[in-house]
Amino acid sequence: MSSETRQAFLDAIVHVAPEVDPADIDPAEPLREQLELDSMDFLNVMIRLSEVLGVEVPERDYPKLDTLDAAVAYLDAARGG
């Protein structure tokens, strides 16, 4: 897993939800439940990732990004890593 991708994802979460401490995120647990992200928050995370990483995530793939580990793996694959 790319540490750059992981950091970009964590930064996107903090950008959308500044009260979140990335150190408290369990990488194997569902993000929306841990962080109490609603659909709009999650969409804003995806928009931020698109801006930072240049990766467009189709809405149909959002469920594949349910945990931090799954999101980083998906984004790494999408970036050709």
Per-residue pLDDT tens over the stretch 4-63: 999 999 999 999 999 999 999 999 999 988 999 999 999 999 999 999 999 999 999 999
Q: Phi, psi (5° rounding) for residue 66?
A: -75, -25
Phi-psi region of 2 (alpha: psi -120 to 50; beta: other; left: phi over 0): beta
| Residue numbers of the domain that contains 61 | 3-78
Q: How far apart are CA 47 and CA 36, in angstroms?
A: 18
Q: Which H or E element spans position 25?
A: none
- CATH code (residue 18): 1.10.1200.10
Q: Is the whole model's pTM more than 0.75, yes or no? A: yes
CB 73 within 8 A of CB 2: no
Q: How many domains does the chain have?
A: 1
